[in-house]
Amino acid sequence: MAVRAVRGATQLEVDEREHLLERTTELVTEVMEANGLTTEDFISIIFTSTSDLVSEFPAYAARQLGFDEVPLMCARELEIERSMPRVIRLMAHVETEMPRAEVTHVYLHGAANLRRDLTRVKSVPDA
């Protein structure tokens, strides 16, 4: 069994707790579905958020999805001039038989613009 890293990000419209939990839940769920993963496949997840998001820890949304035994960590994203606002990123380490080239990295909403260079990006348009 190989260890692979899966990346993803989403952008929020506003910094409100329920919205943050909803978007984080959507991101984690899409990563799981796009790669055929269950919570048992995850080794750890690192979440980062931009400094304008303070309403809740993104990891709390993963806990609500059943990631009770998976180490989760939240950190601040670097504050770079002209960086995209209200973004949550994740890097998950998973055990999978999937070749590295077949891992699907998931970028949702405005965050889809962050990694147009990836050929296997799943993006969900803003509603």
Look at residues 79, 1, 81 and name the one whose alpha carbon lies nearest to residue 37.
Answer: 1
Q: Is the pLDDT of residue 122 over 90?
A: no
For residue 114, what pLDDT is reported?
A: 83
Are 109 and 124 within 8 A, CB to CB?
A: yes
Q: Is the pLDDT of residue 103 over 80?
A: yes
Q: Is the pLDDT of residue 61 over 50?
A: yes
For residue 120, what pLDDT is reported?
A: 45
Mean pLDDT of all residues in 85-102: 96
For residue 121, what pLDDT is reported?
A: 47
Output the pTM of the full model.
0.90
* Rg of the Cα atoms in the chain: 14
Domain spans in the chain, listed from the N-terminal domain onward: 2-122
Regarding predicted confidence, which is higher, 113 or 80? Answer: 80
For residue 119, what pLDDT is reported?
A: 38
Pick among 3.50.30.30, 3.30.1330.40, 1.10.10.10, 3.30.365.10: CATH of 2-122: 3.30.1330.40
Q: Is the pLDDT of residue 70 over 50?
A: yes
